[in-house]
C-alpha cells in the first residue's frame, strides 16, 4: 500500500496525525512495517561490535521504536474514543502480535546482556541524575519482564504476556458491547423528577439513536448517575442501576467473568516466576507504597471511619425516605436519589439549581485560566485542523513568552463507540533527545451533550482532574522519551491530576466562572458558600464505594495460586469479609472493572487514587496555609513536579515541593473523616 499515511513524514502542525486520510486498512501494514523496523533497530543494538555503553545501548534503545510508537498511539487512541467494528477486529488480531513483539525485545538475551553490563559499571560512567535513573529503570524493566530468568521460564513469561494481551482486549470490547447495546427508553410518563437539563440530554441521546420524540438513558456515567439521582421512579432506578452494575456480567459471548478468572491466574503465575509471593507483591515492589501492607494500611485508615460515617448517612436517608412513604430499606439504587434530597434539605442545595452554573464552556475557560495563573500557559483554539471526530476541539498551548508548548485536544462527549469513563492520553510525548519534540495531549470525558452542556459539580471535578493529567504531559521537560510526562510510578501519577481538582473549589475561580447558562449572572454568594460547606457531604458513601473497590482489587491479586471458580461469589465473600454496607455498591464491579482487567495499568494499584489523595490534600494545604491559592513560589515548585516526569524519585520531588513528607491528616479532614 503506497498511499499509507504511516509511511510518510507528517508535516502537519505538531506532527498531528492526518486523521482525514487514515483508514482502518492502513493499520495492519503500518504495524507490520513498524515492528520489522523496530526489530532491525534492536538487532543492531544487541549485535553491535562496540563495547556496551550508555550512548550505544541505553540511548539507542530510547531512539528505537519511534515508528511503532506513532502507529500505536493513533490506533489505540482511536479504539478508545472512536472505535468501529473494523478497528475492533484489528485490535483483536494485533493485541497478541504486539505482545509477542514486545516480548521478543524484553526477553532478548544479547540485548539484556549489554544493558546489564552498562548497569554493573554505572557508578563509573559519569552519568547525571537523569541518566542514572534512566539506566536503573531500564535495567529494572528488563528484570521485571523476565529477562534474567531461565530459558524455560522466559518462554512461559512470553506465553503469558501474549495471552493476557488478548484477554485484556476481549474484556474491554465486551464492556463496550454492553454499553453500546443497552438503553433505557423513556416515554413522557417516565420523566418524573428529571430536571430540564437532564431531559434535554436524554432527548439528545434519543435523537442520536433515531428515537426522536423519546428520551434515552445510557450506561455512560454522565447519563445513568444523574438519572439515579433525580428519577422519582424507583422501578426505573433499579432497572438502570442493575444494568449499569451488570456490564460485562451477562452469560454468553460477552461474559467477562471467565476472562477474569484466567487473567488473575496468569498474573499470579507471572509473579511466581519472578520470585514474588503473589501479583500484588510484584506490582507494589515498583511503586511508592513498596508492599501490600503499606497500601492496605492506608486503606484501613479510612475504611472504618468511612463506614461509620456512611452508617450515619444511611440513617438520615432512611428517615427522609420513611417520611415520604417508603418503608423498604435503602437499596443501592435509592442512595443517590435520597442523598440529593438530604443535601437539599440540610444545605439548601439542589443539583438542578447548581447545574446551570457549571456550563461546559465556562468550566473549560476556568481550566485554562487556572493553568495560566499557576503556570503561565495560554490556550488558543485551532479550527483549521483535521481531527478524528467533530466533537473534538484543538488548542495551541503557549508559555508566557508565546513559545509553543504543545497541542491540546479536548474530547468531552459520550457517544457510541467511545469507552466510558474519563482519561488522558497522548498522540505524541515531549522529548529533546534528538531535538525538541512537542507533545500532543488529549483529554477524554463522557459528558451528556446538551444545548448548552451543563455539568454537575462532580463532572466539573472530573474535567479538572483529567486536565491535571493533561498538564503533566504538556509541561514535561525531559530529554528521554521513556521519562516523559505521566510515565511515573502508578501511585504518583494521580497526584498532578488530583491536586489540580482543588482549584475548581477556589472561591475566586467559582466567582469568575460559575455563571448561569441563561443569564450569565455569577453564582450568588450565598449559594457558593453553601456549595463549599457541603464538600464533605456524602463522603462516607463516596469513600466506602471507592475503598471497597481498592480492597477488592488487592483481594484478587494477593492470592499465590488463585482458583476463582465463581467471580460473583468471590466478590460477595470479599464484601462480607470487609463489611461493605448492603446499601452501597462497589464503585466498579469486577466484570466491568477496566482499571484492573482491560490492561495491567491499575491491577493491584487501584489504591493509588487514595495514595495520591494524601499527597494532593497535603500539597494543596500548602497553598491554603500561604493565604494565596496561586502563590507564585509554590506554583513554581509544583510546576517542577509536572515538568520532571520520571527523572527523579517521586517522594524526593514531593518533598522538594512541600518541604517535608506528606501527612494523612489533610486527607481525613478533606473527606470529613477526621475524628
Q: What is the set of active-site residues?
A: 466
Cα separation of 502 and 466, whole Å? 13
276-306 CB burial, b ≥16 within 10 A, e <16: bebbbbbbbbebbbeebebbbebbebbbebb
Spatial contact of 500 and 454, defined as CB atoms under 8 Å apart:
no
Q: Report the relative pairing of strands 404-413 and 440-447 from DSSP bridges.
A: parallel
Spatial contact of 664 and 301, defined as CB atoms under 8 Å apart:
yes
Cα separation of 88 and 68, whole Å? 19
Spatial contact of 437 and 404, defined as CB atoms under 8 Å apart:
no
Cα separation of 384 and 62, whole Å? 33
244: CB partners within 8 A, 6+ apart: 219, 224
In terms of C-beta density within 10 A (0-12 exposed, 13-18 middle, 19 or more buried), how is residue 500 classed? buried
Cα separation of 460 and 463, whole Å? 5
Cα separation of 322 and 325, whole Å? 5
How many CA atoms does the CB half-sphere of 205 hold within 13 Å? 30
Cα separation of 232 and 321, whole Å? 12
With CA atoms as reference, report the closest residue to 612 among 553, 559, 662: 662
Rg of the chain over CA atoms, in angstroms?
25
What is the side-by-side order of every strand in the sheet holding 378-382? 378-382, 393-398, 404-413, 440-447, 423-428
* 304-307-309-315 Cα dihedral, nearest 10 degrees: -150
CB atoms within 10 A of CB 37: 15
User: What is the separation of C-alpha 265 from the centre of its chain, rounded to a whole number of angstroms?
Assistant: 25
Cα separation of 53 and 61, whole Å? 12
Spatial contact of 203 and 197, defined as CB atoms under 8 Å apart:
no
Amino acid at each position: 500500500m503506497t498511499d499509507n499515511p504511516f509511511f510518510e513524514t507528517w508535516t502537519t502542525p505538531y506532527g498531528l496525525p492526518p486523521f482525514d486520510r487514515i483508514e482502518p486498512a492502513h493499520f495492519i501494514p503500518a504495524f507490520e512495517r513498524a515492528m520489522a523496523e523496530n526489530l532491525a533497530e534492536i538487532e543492531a543494538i544487541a549485535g553491535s561490535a562496540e563495547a556496551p555503553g550508555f550512548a550505544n545501548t541505553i540511548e539507542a534503545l530510547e531512539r528505537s521504536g519511534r515508528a511503532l510508537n506513532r502507529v500505536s498511539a493513533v490506533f489505540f487512541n482511536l479504539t478508545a474514543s472512536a472505535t468501529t467494528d473494523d478497528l475492533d477486529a484489528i485490535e483483536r488480531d494485533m493485541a497478541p502480535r504486539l505482545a509477542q513483539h514486545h516480548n521478543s525485545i524484553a526477553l532478548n538475551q544479547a540485548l539484556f546482556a549489554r544493558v546489564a553490563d552498562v548497569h554493573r559499571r554505572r557508578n563509573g560512567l559519569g552519568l547525571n541524575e537523569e541518566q542514572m535513573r534512566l539506566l536503573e529503570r531500564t535495567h529494572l524493566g528488563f528484570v521485571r519482564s523476565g529477562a534474567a530468568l531461565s530459558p524455560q521460564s522466559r518462554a512461559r513469561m512470553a506465553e503469558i504476556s501474549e495471552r493476557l494481551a488478548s484477554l485484556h482486549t476481549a474484556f474491554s470490547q465486551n464492556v463496550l458491547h454492553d454499553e453500546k447495546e443497552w438503553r433505557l427508553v423513556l416515554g413522557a410518563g417516565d420523566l418524573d423528577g428529571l430536571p430540564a437539563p437532564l431531559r434535554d440530554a436524554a432527548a439528545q441521546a434519543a435523537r442520536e439513536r433515531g428515537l426522536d420524540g423519546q428520551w434515552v438513558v445510557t450506561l455512560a456515567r454522565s447519563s445513568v448517575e444523574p438519572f439515579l439521582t433525580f428519577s422519582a421512579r424507583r422501578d426505573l432506578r433499579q432497572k438502570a442501576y442493575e444494568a449499569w452494575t451488570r456490564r460485562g456480567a451477562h452469560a454468553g459471548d460477552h461474559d467477562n467473568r471467565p476472562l477474569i478468572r484466567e487473567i488473575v491466574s496468569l498474573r499470579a503465575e507471572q509473579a511466581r516466576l519472578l520470585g514474588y509471593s503473589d501479583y500484588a507483591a510484584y506490582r507494589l515492589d515498583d511503586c511508592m507504597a513498596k508492599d501490600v501492607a503499606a497500601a492496605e494500611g492506608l486503606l484501613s485508615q479510612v475504611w472504618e471511619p468511612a463506614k461509620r460515617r456512611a452508617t450515619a448517612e444511611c440513617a438520615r436517608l432512611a428517615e427522609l425516605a420513611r417520611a415520604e412513604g417508603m418503608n423498604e430499606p435503602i437499596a443501592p439504587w435509592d442512595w443517590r436519589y435520597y442523598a440529593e434530597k438530604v443535601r437539599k434539605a440540610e444545605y439548601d442545595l439542589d443539583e438542578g439549581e447548581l447545574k446551570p452554573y457549571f456550563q461546559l464552556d465556562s468550566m473549560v475557560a476556568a481550566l485554562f485560566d487556572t493553568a495560566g495563573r499557576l503556570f503561565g500557559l495560554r490556550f488558543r483554539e485551532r479550527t483549521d485542523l483535521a481531527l478524528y471526530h467533530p466533537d473534538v476541539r484543538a488548542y495551541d498551548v503557549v508559555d508566557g513568552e508565546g513559545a509553543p508548548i504543545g497541542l491540546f485536544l479536548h474530547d468531552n462527549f459520550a457517544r457510541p463507540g467511545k469507552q466510558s469513563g474519563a482519561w488522558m492520553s497522548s498522540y505524541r510525548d515531549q522529548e529533546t533527545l534528538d531535538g525538541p519534540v512537542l507533545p500532543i495531549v488529549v483529554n477524554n470525558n463522557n459528558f451528556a451533550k446538551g444545548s448548552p452542556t451543563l455539568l454537575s459539580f462532580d463532572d466539573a471535578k472530573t474535567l479538572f482532574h483529567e486536565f491535571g493529567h493533561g498538564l503533566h504531559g504538556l509541561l514535561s521537560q525531559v530529554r528521554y522519551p521513556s521519562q516523559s510526562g505521566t510515565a511515573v510510578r502508578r501511585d504518583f501519577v494521580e497526584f498532578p491530576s488530583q491536586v489540580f481538582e482543588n482549584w475548581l473549589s477556589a472561591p475566586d475561580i467559582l466567582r469568575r466562572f460559575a455563571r448561569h447558562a441563561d443569564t450569565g449572572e455569577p453564582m450568588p454568594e450565598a449559594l457558593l458558600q453553601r456549595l463549599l460547606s457541603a464538600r464533605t457531604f456524602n463522603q462516607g458513601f463516596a469513600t466506602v464505594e471507592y475503598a471497597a473497590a481498592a480492597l477488592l482489587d488487592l483481594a484478587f491479586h494477593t492470592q499465590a495460586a488463585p482458583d476463582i471458580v465463581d467471580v460473583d461469589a468471590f466478590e460477595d465473600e470479599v464484601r462480607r469479609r470487609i463489611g461493605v454496607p448492603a446499601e452501597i455498591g462497589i464503585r466498579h464491579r469486577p466484570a466491568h472493572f477496566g482499571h484492573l482487567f482491560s490492561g495491567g495499568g491499575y491491577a493491584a494499584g487501584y489504591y493509588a487514587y487514595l495514595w495520591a489523595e494524601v499527597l494532593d490534600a497535603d500539597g494543596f494545604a500548602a497553598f491554603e496555609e500561604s493565604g494565596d491559592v496561586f502563590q507564585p513560589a509554590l506554583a513554581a515548585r509544583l510546576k517542577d513536579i509536572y515538568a520532571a516526569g520520571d527523572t527523579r524519585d517521586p517522594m524526593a520531588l514531593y518533598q522538594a515541593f512541600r518541604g517535608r513528607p506528606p501527612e494523612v491528616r489533610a486527607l481525613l479532614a478533606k473527606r470529613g473523616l477526621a475524628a
